[in-house]
Amino acid sequence: MRKIIILMVFAILFTSFASAEIIITNQPEQLYNLEDVIDLPLKIVASTNIISSFKMQLICNGVETEVLTKDVILNAGEEELITAKIILTQERTQRATGTCKIKSILGENYVLTNDFTISNLINLELKERQVEFAPEESITIEGDAKKENTKPAEGFVDVKITGQDLTEPIEILNTVNLGYFFINFSLPPETKAGEYLVTLNVYEKNSEGEITNNGVTDFNILISQIPTSLEIVFDPIEISSGENPGVEPGTDLKVKAVLHDQTGEKIESISIITIKDKDNAILQQIEKPTDEFLEFPIPYNQLPEEWSVFAVSNKLTREMNFEIKEKEDVKIELINKTITISNTGNVFYNKSVLVKIGNNSVNIDVNLEIDESQKYSLSAPDGEYQVEIITDGGGKFTGMATLTGKAVDVKKVSKGVLTLAKHPFAWIFMIIILGFVAFTIFRKGYKRSFFGYISSKKKQKNKETPLKKNSLINAKNKSEISLSIKGDKQNVSAVCLKIKNLKEIESKKSNAEETLQKIVDFAEENKSFVYENQENLFFMFAPIKTRTFSNEKTAIKVSQKIKEILTEHNKLSKQKIEFGISLNYGTIIAKQDKDILKFMSLGTLVTLAKKIASISIKEILLSEKINDKLKSSVKSEKQKKQGTFFYTIKEIKDTEGNSKFIRNFLNRIEGKK
């Protein structure tokens, strides 16, 4: 026992004075991710005999964690190689990341490694992707996931889609293999249009199911409005005896087309509204923004019929019928001692009318066709009476009349020859008037008929026809908007001329018509189709007519000539023409039908041109699309007015003149040779 104690004391004394050197043969790398393994080779060289415990500690953010313990027994001059493998678990790093080092301890000696960083970050790199989708359209997300140490991640990807119109987020889980992930999904058909946030979370887990490394990124996607239904809406009017809306004659029919998307929300677009009568004849056809009422006057004497409204927008169509209601109505006038009752309704009037003269009442049966009138003569003992007339429908008229006669009576005034026969002076007066009219016609009528004949012959020779009823101009190459046609899809350049004081021009006799016809003739000489829309004249330059796909320069040339003609007119004429000119470029579906181009406008070709022309004040303005086409030949400046972007022309480069100069120059050189 005594010997053992002596040996232990000796060993302790020997160890206390032991001397050894710890050499790190290979320093750690600069960056690691969690769950990585650090290979740290060391060499212990003993200068004296050593019996001791060797320890290694991981020091991160000031926290020490023991990661290795080993007994070392060496004689003086001996050395030992130690290869330490340290797994960077969350437990060892105390779930912390940042700058770390490893401390190797042998007795009182220790050595530290260089600093290195421990990270839990995964970097995500998404590949090029689409950002706008329709509901139910396939959405693909593809990318690479690399840990900060550049090694590929192995784990999972969690996709979460959120938006203010989603009651609950949409979540999708997939795997990440060798740093690559691929997700394909689609959103429900009822997904509301708008912006949605897509968040990607890529992460790795350890054997205990705890998340170690992860990376997050997000981006926005836009769900577009998809036209799914077209609705025809009437201004609140009564439902007639059937199921169709009814409109009263003498009022305006107010109707609009409303375009809805996948969730029933309204879409701003363009619609073509057509009103047809019972024989399917078109009464009105006009291009209107959706959700904007079209007002169409119904004549007061329009017969009760069933008409229809047909709407087209974004390849969707809708048709609805409505009824012209029956209306029994009369107009009553009292002049001196004569009552005039006129049928101002739209059906045959067959009612009793009560006439009160003072305290006496007389019932008269009134039978009137539409627009027919009947006069009744009143009589009563001499005096002034209050006359009250009450119709069967509740209408009431009151007036005063001075009457003569023996008794109260109401008599129908006879029409025609018998009335005139009682008044021979009326015959004489009529004969004189008719003779004067006949003499006037004889003197002037022949000349007028002759020129009318010449004019009609000239129009027939030129095969020109008015663009529409009461149009101021004639055209050879007419164009019309069609609801739905099968034809060629063509890109066209369009010049829009807006006549801002058209009603004033139509009401006054002037040479404005000749000026406008001169413009039409010039445009047609340059192979333009002509389309008239209210106050707007469109000159369409389409490949189907021009036989070329580049019509932008022709359009700018024609617009310059139009401005020149109108400016010259306004200098010389009392009747000024207020105008605006715009150029636009867009796509139509076109079909040549004899001398008429039938077309359907796609997008905002017509509406934008009209809007910019209305902004223009006697100048030429360009839309963005045609400005892009004319960049090589036109210098322009972008402006905004009334919420619309457009371009004003600053300079037109004479590229044709330059080309002509070069050709002439080369020809002169060839001539000298």
Q: pLDDT tens digits for 344-385? A: 999 998 888 899 888 888 888 888 999 999 999 999 888 888
349-376 CB burial, b ≥16 within 10 A, e <16: beeebebbbeeeeeebebebeeeeebbb
Task: Kindly state whether residues 337 and 320 are assigned to the same domain.
Answer: no
Q: Is 567 a domain residue?
A: yes
Residues 23 and 91 placed together within one structural domain of the fold: yes
Q: Report the percent of the chain where pLDDT is more than 90.
A: 40
Q: Where are the alpha helices (DSSP H) in 496-585?
A: 502-507, 512-525, 543-546, 552-572
- Asked if residue 642 belongs to a domain, the reply is yes
Report yes or no on 60 lying in a domain: yes
d(CA 592, CA 467): 16
Instruction: Specify the pLDDT at position 462.
Output: 43
Q: Is 651 helix (H, G, I), strand (E, B) or coil?
A: strand
Residue 504, pLDDT score = 86
d(CA 629, CA 550): 9
The CA distances from residue 473 to 124, 391, 478, 565, in Å, are 66, 49, 11, 15
CATH of the domain at 6: 2.60.40.10
Report the CATH number at residue 233.
2.60.40.1930
CA atoms of 642 and 612, how far apart (whole Å): 10
* 405: CATH: 2.60.40
8 Å CB contact between 233 and 256: yes
φ, ψ for residue 443, nearest 5 deg:
-75, -40
SS3 554: helix
Q: Which domain holds residue 511?
A: 465-658
Q: What is the pLDDT of residue 449?
A: 32
Q: Which two tokens stand for residue 650?
A: 């600053």
Q: Buried b / exposed e across 54-86, counting CB within 10 Å, b at 16+?
A: bbbbbbbeeeebebbeeebebeeeeebebebeb
Query: Do 40 and 181 have their domain in common?
Result: no
Given 282, 304, 324, which residue is the final one in a domain? 324
Q: Are residues 93 and 151 in the same domain?
A: no
Residue 663: inside a domain: no
Q: How many folded domains does the chain comprise?
A: 5
Residue 150, classed as helix, strand or coil, is: coil
| DSSP secondary structure letters along 411-457 | EEPP-THHHHHT-HHHHHHHHHHHHHHHHHHHHHHHHHHHHHHHHHH
Residue whose C-alpha is closest to residue 230's, from 293, 295, 290, 296:
290
Lowest-confidence segment of 457-466, 548-557, 590-599 by average pLDDT: 457-466
Q: What are phi and psi of 78, to 5 degrees?
A: -85, 160
Residue type, 149: N
Q: Of 223, 244, 262, which residue constitutes the final position of a domain?
A: 223
Decide if 460 is inside a domain: no
| CB-CB neighbours of 225 under 10 Å | 20
Which phi-psi region, left, alpha or beta, contains residue 503 (left: φ > 0; alpha: ψ -120 to 50)? Answer: alpha
Banded model confidence at residue 569, pLDDT cuts 50, 70, 90 = very high
Q: What is the pLDDT of residue 424?
A: 55
Q: Are residues 588 and 518 in the same domain?
A: yes
Please, what is the average pLDDT of the chain? 83
Examine the fold and report which residue of 176, 191, 223 is the final residue of a domain before the chain moves on: 223
Residue range 283-295, pLDDT digits in tens = 889 999 999 999 9
Q: Give burial (CB, 10 Å; 0-12/13-18/19+) of 651.
A: exposed
DSSP, collapsed to helix, strand or coil, labels residue 486 as coil
Tokens for 239, please give them: 């439902």
Same domain, 115 and 159: no
Residues 111 and 55: beta-carbon distance below 8 Å: no
Mean pLDDT of 65-72: 89
Q: What does DSSP assign to residue 208?
A: T
pLDDT higher than 50, residue 454: no
Same domain, 487 and 590: yes
- Torsions phi, psi of 72, nearest 5? -125, 125
- pLDDT, residue 421, reads 43
Report pLDDT for 445.
Answer: 44
272 and 311 Cβ atoms separated by less than 8 Å: yes
Helix 552-572 vs helix 512-525: crossing angle, to nearest 10: 160
CATH number of residue 645's parent domain: 3.30.70.1230
pLDDT of residue 447: 37
Task: Tell me if 64 is assigned to some domain.
Answer: yes
**Two structure tokens written together for 543:** 């490949």
Strand-pair category, 396-403 with 383-390: antiparallel
- Residue 452's pLDDT band (cuts 50, 70, 90): very low
39 and 164 within one domain? no
Which amino acid belongs to residue 533? N
Inside any domain, residue 423: no
**CA proximity to 495, closest of 596, 589, 623:** 623
Q: What is the pLDDT of residue 477?
A: 84
**Residue 448 domain-assigned (yes or no):** no
Which residue has 């005999």 as its token pair? 49
pLDDT exceeds cutoff 90 at 112: yes
Q: What is the pLDDT of residue 63?
A: 83
Go through 98-118 and write b for each residue having 16 or more CB atoms within 10 A of its CB, e for each that does not.
eebebbbbbbeeeeebeebbb
Do 505 and 604 fall within a single domain?
yes
Long-range contacts of 243-246 (CB under 8 A, 24+ apart): 244/306, 244/320, 244/321, 244/322, 244/323, 245/320, 245/322, 245/323, 246/322, 246/323, 246/324, 246/325
pLDDT at residue 155 tops 90: yes
pTM for the model stands at 0.49
> Using an 8 Å Cβ cutoff, are 654 and 553 in contact?
no
Q: What is the pLDDT of residues 20-53, one digit of tens each?
A: 889 988 999 999 999 899 999 999 999 899 898 9
Does 23 share its domain with 79? yes
Q: Which whole number is the average pLDDT over 63-68?
A: 87
- 466 falls in which pLDDT band (50, 70, 90)? low
- pLDDT attached to residue 246: 86
pLDDT of residue 293: 93
Q: 2 pLDDT exceeds 50? A: yes
Q: Which pLDDT belongs to residue 513?
A: 87
Query: Which residues are CB-neighbours of 102 under 8 A, at least 6 positions away?
Result: 28, 38, 40, 56, 57, 58, 59, 67, 86, 112, 113
CA distance 541 to 523: 9
Pairwise CA distance, residues 531 & 666, whole Å? 43
Tens of pLDDT, residues 374-427: 999 999 888 888 889 998 877 888 888 888 888 888 888 876 543 444 455 555
pLDDT digits (tens, 9 = 90+) for 552-568: 999 999 999 999 999 99
Identify whether residues 595 and 496 lie together within a single domain.
yes
Judgement on whether residues 56 and 10 belong to the same structural domain of the protein: yes
For residue 663, the surrounding DSSP H or E stretch is helix 655-672
Kindly state the tokens that stand for 448: 């007028």
